[in-house]
Amino acid sequence: MVNRVAFVTGASRGIGRATALSLCRAGFDVVVASPAIESNQELAAEIRACSGKAMAVNLDVTSPGSVKDAFAKALKDRGRIDVLVNNAGITRDGLAVRMKPADWDRVLQINLYGAFSCIQAVLPGMMRNRWGRIINIVSVVGQAGAAGQANYAASKAGLIGLTKSLAQEMGRREITVNAVAPGYIETDMTKGLPDEVKQTILASIPLARIGTPDDVAAAVKFLAGEDAGYITGQVLAVNGGMYM
């Protein structure tokens, strides 16, 4: 069996970190990438400590030069990239009527352009190998919308459209392209929400609990594996039933 290599963006914390560890436990070599190089190194060391293989690269998904360098280093060290997990993302919330252009641009640059830039970096190798898994982390907000998150919702909805288009383009090359759409997950991005907002969200979740990064990582691990080879262009919701 080919030793599969997975490249995870935004891997230094939260969903990205949980995904990197989950893929390691499933037998993947893992490239952990984010701008937080010290955290990347710590995570890579943790993976190696549990008998996994890992390397860390510094990555700013908005910089073409950084993307080129990061993927070149990974390819030189590992020889191939079989799985790309586009997890890097940010929020800059605010009502649309008062949203600053810089906040709109920054969210779209990281969440949508950044993912596309990474996809372009891995596609040539996946096409040559005639095997690949591209998994984009989107959001329930990209499906249902959310007041105060027009920029974030637009970026994630755009990523869903990108997922479906690429799935059609790449299917004949045995490259699957799917999205995982988390709902309310306990991460650094959601910890700052006011308690009343958290309680309102919790009341809308049929499973009556907040999700964990491991819940999302399990879905990514499935889509990255051999058993998901006939699944492409799909959005796998991991939201406890809050949006169906």
Q: Tell me which residues are annotated as active site.
A: 152
Output the pLDDT for position 1: 59
CATH code 3.40.50.300 for 5-237: no
Q: Taking the CA atoms of 6, 9, 12 and 15 in sequence, report the sign of the dihedral they define.
A: negative
pLDDT, tens only, 93-116: 999 999 999 999 999 999 999 999
- CA 204/CA 190 separation, integer angstroms: 16
Q: Where are the domains of the chain?
A: 5-237
241's tokens:
């039933």
- CA 134/CA 63 separation, integer angstroms: 20
pLDDT, tens only, 17-42: 999 999 999 999 999 999 988 888 99
Q: At what angle do helices 213-224 and 14-25 cross, to 10 degrees?
A: 50
- CA 57/CA 55 separation, integer angstroms: 7
51's tokens:
């008998």
